[in-house]
Structure 1
Amino acid sequence: MLNTNQFKADRADEPRNLKDTAPKAVYIHIPFCTNKCFYCDFNSYVLKDQPVMDYLRALDREMELTVQATPPDVIDTIFVGGGTPTVLKPDEMQYFLSSVRKHFPKWADNMEFTMEANPGTTDLEKLAVMKDGGVNRVSFGVQAFQNELLGGIGRIHNTDDVYRSLENAQKAGITNMSIDLMFGLPNQTVEMLDQSITKALALGLPHYSIYSLKVEENTLFHTMYQKNQLPLPDEEDELQMYLLLMSRMKEAGYKQYEISNFAKPGFESRHNMTYWRNEDYYGLGAGAHGYVGGQRHINIKGVNPYNEAAANGLPRMEQFEVTSAEAMEDFVMVGLRVLDGIQSRRFVEQFGISIEEKFRAPLNKMLKAGLLEKTEEFEGYKLSEKGVLFGNEVFAEFIGSLTSQN
């Protein structure tokens, strides 16, 4: 999801023109987890004693109100994130997926329906319910193939759970799978990451996401970091880890299509491309973000507050129009995460002005620094090989470059 710090409603310039078409993508948030991982700052809550069915009924109500306000057309992608959506029991999962189908009934023939899962929370019965409900892609949060590292970050699964979960998914008929790995973990070495990549590649999956650890506020790791009790790899080792994973994935025939994502041709995450192209999407559930018709919203976060709010209307914490300047900055910042880069033509189509005219100074600065390069194929701009390593520095040049002028 996008960073909420970007979503300010107090801009002085005019909002972007509202779009005529309904979103083709749906994000749905299931906030329950078996436990809270030590690094996690997502909107998630330990499952024990939570009013799960009340939440699913509230979610059904939000879907109903949402499609009344903006009727959907054909849906191309659905992504169910969390939390851990697969902590739902089979009957709860069936109810939830029936709600989705009821309120978003038109699905593209090749629709991508992804659900996040943790190894060990997906038995064959549950995966069969997911498959019957339309789920055709599962993203497993594996993180590492060393049990000692998994325990050190608060994961409750082990490597045996990983293999068993992947095997069950295949038995259920779900072959489009992805796994997440992490690097920069406490006590992790370059060699350990290399071992994890080897074991991950041996699975022959179509997609891999590999993220670096970020120590976020309001997490156990942040508390430990402040007390100097978090044995993280140094910056040089972390850089070597990123270089290693890019090299290993390329050698294995996977395209790095986004800073943290690698896929076989045709298996890129189509849902996440919605975000990176700055396109509209429905956002449903506690704490979910949505982007519809030039407006962004953020839902109420807590489970019970969300349930109560949904009984009386759309459960919004914040909703505001996105100005043209904000939309332009978002277009560039999220678009440059994709390694093919941004297309000047799409910028003109969306905003009626050239990207060079709006961002001349930061574009020239980043080109001169060798962090961006022009693309002939797409007639636009992309991160250079060096720029991929310093993406945050590049993005920072564009954030606020227009909106801070107001």
Structure 2
Amino acid sequence: MVQPQGDAPPAPLHGWTPRALYIHIPFCTNKCFYCDFNSYVVEGQPVDAYLDALEREMERTVAALPPETIRKVFVGGGTPTVLTPAQMTRFLDSVARHFPVAPGAEFTMEANPGTTDPAKLEAMRAGGVNRISFGAQSFDNGLLAAIGRIHEADDVVRSIENARRAGFTNLSIDLMFGLPRQTLEQLKDSVEKALELDLPHYSLYSLKVEENTLFHRLYERGELPLPEEDVEVAMYEHLRERLGRAGYKQYEVSNFAKPGFESRHNGTYWRNEPYYGLGAGAHGYARGERHMNVKGVQAYIDAAAIGLPRKETHTVTVREAMEDFMMVGLRLLDGVREADFRRQFGGAASEDVFGEVLAKLREQGLLERFGEGEAAGYRLTEKGIPLGNEVFGAFL
């Protein structure tokens, strides 16, 4: 097999072994009011049995699809940092045993403020973690309580200080906007406090009211006082302007970074590249198939005892893969390149497949064509950036 250069896969993409690994730890200290992720309050959960099952899935996964060098690891949840230091060491040791993680690979772990004491940070560093993404969400304590977070703003600051003392330099925080009763002034204040931390990366997400959450039940009853649409638009515009002025490049619709600190693992998804996905409810994509694992903790443990813990697997058609390529790729502000489309799809041209859609989006001023020859491609316009969901959905 021809070896890929950098993170670029060879053609055909379906024959490429993943270079990225996602692992799901589904435990949390509590369930936030907006959260529909596959997560469970950790108290009373069989955490050690889950780690046993996770290692069994690792063993079966590498037997079925032997890994080459892993360049990007992301441990998400849930809150992976609810593991004790001993559990953290055990878990990270199992990753190292089964997957050849390259020196210099990006190894990210999600964390909630207040769950990363020095002993845990030491275990994370020793196990190869070199990037932490903290779920700060807001620096307004009233808003934090209103969305079900149990940390306060000071916990974010202390957690960042602890991480830096432990030797972590690649740090990110998530902020949310469009929260119930949130004002533009409150958002501006949170952004200023976030920028005072001088981090290399910020992720900024608008609230989505998802089914099977407390917020969805309140919304259905008309009891969720969300900001008006024009206020939410103003919030997003302020985020873009303020972070740009502070020297951060917006490289994706919700992500801002200093040069060289863009999330490499998330780039796997945005470029529609394959990845291993392990753990309860995890998704994976490899050899032209997408899978989703069994979600429940005990159900996952039971399934992993007898085989790969799959809930469902389906073959991705070429058309579906093309649609995915355009939808996720256009989230990147650099857009999608024709050369990458041709490489993934055996020489096919995006304009031959999506010519009408591309033309319509250009007419609407939401997309623009850039470059010539191999460097040509499409990207969101300034008008299109805040209307990205309309653009992405047009390719279905």
TM over 0.5: yes
Aligned match of 1:283: 277
Aligned residues of 2:13 and 2:273 also touching (Cα < 8 A): no
Aligned residues of 1:75 and 1:108 also touching (Cα < 8 A): yes
Q: In the TM superposition, what whole-angstrom CA distance separates every residue of 1:173-229 from its partner, at most 9, and x where no partner exists?
A: 111100000000011100111111111111110000000000011100011111111
TM-superposed CA distance for 1:19, in Å, is 3.2
Question: Does residue 22 of the first structure (1) align with residue 17 of the second (2)?
Answer: yes
Secondary structure of 1:390's match? helix
Q: Distance in 2 between matches of 1:350 and 1:326?
A: 13
What does residue range 236-247 of structure 1 map to in structure 2 within 5 Å?
236-247=230-241
Aligned match of 2:75: 80
What does residue range 298-317 of structure 1 map to in structure 2 within 5 Å?
298-317=292-311
What does residue range 162-311 of structure 1 map to in structure 2 within 5 Å?
162-311=156-305
Aligned residues of 1:374 and 1:382 also touching (Cα < 8 A): yes
Paired AA for residue 71 in structure 1:
P
Question: Does residue 393 of the first structure (1) align with residue 390 of the second (2)?
Answer: yes
Deviates most, 300-309 or 162-171? 162-171
Aligned residues of 2:338 and 2:376 also touching (Cα < 8 A): yes
Aligned match of 1:121: 115
Question: Does residue 148 of the first structure (1) align with residue 142 of the second (2)?
Answer: yes
Aligned residues of 1:143 and 1:182 also touching (Cα < 8 A): yes
Among candidates 323, 339, 354, match of residue 359 of structure 1? 354
TM-superposed CA distance for 1:18, in Å, is 6.5
Q: TM-score, length-normalised on structure 2?
A: 0.95
Q: In the TM superposition, what whole-angstrom CA distance separates every residue of 1:48-100 from its partner, at most 9, and x where no partner exists?
A: 10000000000000001000011111110000000000000111111100110
Secondary structure of 1:280's match? coil
Aligned match of 1:404: none
Q: Distance in 2 between matches of 1:219 and 1:21?
A: 37
CA RMSD of aligned residues (A): 1.0
Deviates most, 371-380 or 174-183? 371-380
Paired AA for residue 215 in structure 1:
V
TM-superposed CA distance for 1:160, in Å, is 1.3
Q: Distance in 1 between matches of 2:36 and 2:156?
A: 23
Question: Does residue 57 of the first structure (1) align with residue 52 of the second (2)?
Answer: yes
TM-superposed CA distance for 1:349, in Å, is 1.2
Paired AA for residue 129 in structure 2:
V
Paired AA for residue 169 in structure 1:
A
Identity of aligned residues (%): 64
Paired AA for residue 287 in structure 2:
G
Aligned residues of 2:12 and 2:343 also touching (Cα < 8 A): no
Q: Distance in 1 between matches of 2:274 and 2:351?
A: 24
Aligned match of 1:48: 43
Aligned match of 1:90: 85
How has the CA–CA distance of structure 1 residues 161 and 144 changed in structure 2, closer, same or farther, with 3 Å as cutoff?
same
Paired AA for residue 260 in structure 1:
S
Paired AA for residue 251 in structure 1:
R
Q: TM-score, length-normalised on structure 1?
A: 0.93
Q: Distance in 2 between matches of 1:77 and 1:346?
A: 20
Secondary structure of 2:102's match? strand
Q: Distance in 1 between matches of 2:384 and 2:223?
A: 32
Question: Number of residue pairs matched?
Answer: 383
Secondary structure of 1:61's match? helix
Aligned residues of 2:23 and 2:76 also touching (Cα < 8 A): yes
TM-superposed CA distance for 1:375, in Å, is 1.4
Among candidates 306, 316, 322, match of residue 316 of structure 2? 322
Secondary structure of 2:50's match? helix
Q: Distance in 1 between matches of 2:161 and 2:246?
A: 22
Secondary structure of 1:19's match? helix
Aligned match of 2:6: none
Aligned residues of 2:176 and 2:204 also touching (Cα < 8 A): yes
Q: Distance in 2 between matches of 1:96 and 1:308?
A: 19
Paired AA for residue 213 in structure 2:
T
Aligned residues of 1:17 and 1:294 also touching (Cα < 8 A): no
Paired AA for residue 77 in structure 1:
K
TM-superposed CA distance for 1:159, in Å, is 1.0
Q: In the TM superposition, what whole-angstrom CA distance separates every residue of 1:109-143 from its partner, at most 9, and x where no partner exists?
A: 22000000000111011011000000000000000
Aligned residues of 1:27 and 1:281 also touching (Cα < 8 A): yes
Secondary structure of 1:67's match? helix
Aligned residues of 2:134 and 2:173 also touching (Cα < 8 A): yes
TM-superposed CA distance for 1:31, in Å, is 0.2
Aligned residues of 2:13 and 2:344 also touching (Cα < 8 A): no
